[in-house]
Amino acid sequence: MTEAGTLKLDVLAALCKRRGFIFPNSEIYGGINGFWDYGPLGSELKRNIREAWWQDVVRRRDDVVGIDTAIIMHPKVWEASGHVAGFADPMVDCKSCKKRYRADNLCEDQGQELVRTDTGFVLPAGISCPACGSKDLTEPRAFNLMFESNTGPVKDDSSRVYLRPETAQGIFVQFDNVLATARQKIPFGIAQVGKAFRNEINPRNYTFRSREFEQMELEFFIKPGTDTEWHKYWVEERLKWYTSIGLPSSSLHLDVHPKEKLAHYASACTDVMYDFPFGRQELEGIAARGCFDLTQHAKFSGKPLNYFDQETNENFVPHVIEPSAGVDRIALALLCNAYREEWVPKGKDDSGSAGAILAEPGKPVPEAHEPRTVMRFHPRVAPVKVAVFPLLKNKPELVAKARGIFEDLRTDWSCFWDVTGAIGRRYRRQDEAGTPYCVTVDFDTLSADTVTVRDRDSMKQERIAVSELHDLMRERLR
């Protein structure tokens, strides 16, 4: 059930809801299309993704600094960036059932490609409405994806603002301030993590295409002429990063955009793609954007955004390489990749993985086996790293000893405390949460000061001295 294509999104969504990874937004009011909420486990998962990115892209490097800019910016920013005029998707309506679609997605789903002309878009012949089958569709027309709002008490054109559709522009408009304060020389980067909003025509594939989502963006400023080598460098770095959070290289791919499909200012763009159950789709785009953004903001603001190289006495507008990733899409890829249904020997929780069989959808569970669902997250992103259980909840000395161990472990890792139900049930709950290790405190703990450490994937249990537990976890969770 884990191979891409066999996992059903509704099965994953059911687990996500049951275990508290992802909930439909405003569910008690019937939900709202394109918006999702992350529960206790999901919010930890997202936090770990952001943390892993920030660690590797900002903190562990000498040449990148962070920034945190506001969601609402001066409206001229979006004129300069081209979003007011051009941040639009082609939209078509079915004249028969009135359903609305994103024209390029509609064509792709029917094995065709939307025709681009100098003046807009044209639908290929034969495209039909997936809902009612009618071929009576409107011609595609541009639909701007920016959400609008107003600042202050008067709602008119003069107070119109936009919710940012990307975090990148906050970086460009603060380029000078960062340059003046961060003591960086080119090449160097500015990174930002934050919410972005797009009024997508068809939010779909669970959280994959949402109207509110989170981006992790780096603008890496370079000397003009070094674009190709730096673009190559960042593509390689970013691909490696995805394997460091547990996505297998066999499910990751690069999609190199052909020159004719690039924006006029871009010299290269490569997407990092993941094999989702609904097909191969983008996790991140890495673009070489030339000096377009800084030049546009200099033009619209009247403030030059240049760099003076003191060593060579050169004054130039830096070029930029932009790796731009989505937290929610990465979370979804990690959830899809982690999900696994197994059949394990009944009542033998220490039987080890040798006893576990990958479940075959639709087939009955073999005799003397029971199903288990396990989320095999890499420890780096697992929402909970260790769960601690006292064997029995009505033995105060066990509970007190376990609580002491729990308090010690939680100073370093996100830990879960569970006293209710049979130990086997508690293991199963942690399997579904994706917790790599469970520590059980039993009567031997009281006499010999040892605990049982149970491994999520192999289900093997080993006895460890309490004094060695912290070091063992540090080594395994690294």
Q: Name the minimum Å distance from CB 176 to ligand ATP.
A: 24
Judge whether 461 and 454 are in contact, CB under 8 Å.
yes
The half-sphere exposure of 411 on its side-chain side, counting CA atoms within 13 A, is 6
Using the minimum distance from each CB to ligand ATP, give the nearer residue, 284 or 442: 284
Judge whether 286 and 295 are in contact, CB under 8 Å.
no
Q: Name the minimum Å distance from CB 211 to ligand ATP.
A: 7
Q: Name the minimum Å distance from CB 124 to ligand ATP.
A: 19
Using the minimum distance from each CB to ligand ATP, give the nearer residue, 329 or 428: 329
Using the minimum distance from each CB to ligand ATP, give the nearer residue, 231 or 372: 231
Q: Name the minimum Å distance from CB 202 to ligand ATP.
A: 10
Point out which residues pair with 345 in neighbouring strands.
369
Q: Name the minimum Å distance from CB 35 to ligand ATP.
A: 11
Q: Could you tell me which of 99, 196, 111 has the C-alpha nearest to residue 147?
A: 196
Residues found near ligand ATP in the complex (CB under 6 A): 166, 198, 200, 209-210, 213, 215, 282-285, 324-326, 328-329
Q: Name the minimum Å distance from CB 215 to ligand ATP.
A: 5
Using the minimum distance from each CB to ligand ATP, give the nearer residue, 49 or 391: 49
Judge whether 271 and 284 are in contact, CB under 8 Å.
yes
| Pairing status of strand 188-197 against strand 64-66 | parallel
Distance CA 148, CA 353 (A): 53
Using the minimum distance from each CB to ligand ATP, give the nearer residue, 328 or 341: 328
Q: Report which residue's Cβ sits closest to ligand ATP.
A: 326
Q: Name the minimum Å distance from CB 200 to ligand ATP.
A: 5
Q: Could you tell me which of 210, 184, 186 has the C-alpha nearest to residue 197?
A: 210
Judge whether 351 and 344 are in contact, CB under 8 Å.
yes
Using the minimum distance from each CB to ligand ATP, give the nearer residue, 219 or 328: 328
- The pair of three-digit structure tokens given for residue 295, joined into one six-digit string: 């030049």
Type and span of the H or E element at 220: strand 212-222
Q: Name the minimum Å distance from CB 16 to ligand ATP.
A: 16
What single string gives the DSSP state of each residue in 244-262?
HTT--GGGEEEEEPPGGGS
Using the minimum distance from each CB to ligand ATP, give the nearer residue, 179 or 218: 218
- What is each CA distance from 147 to 84, 162, 459, in whole angstroms? 11, 6, 48
Distance CA 1, CA 342 (A): 8
Q: Could you tell me which of 29, 109, 56, 18 has the C-alpha nearest to residue 381?
A: 56
Distance CA 107, CA 113 (A): 5
Using the minimum distance from each CB to ligand ATP, give the nearer residue, 282 or 350: 282
Q: Name the minimum Å distance from CB 88 to ligand ATP.
A: 11
The half-sphere exposure of 475 on its side-chain side, counting CA atoms within 13 A, is 5
Using the minimum distance from each CB to ligand ATP, give the nearer residue, 282 or 408: 282
Single-letter amino acid code for the residue at 347? G
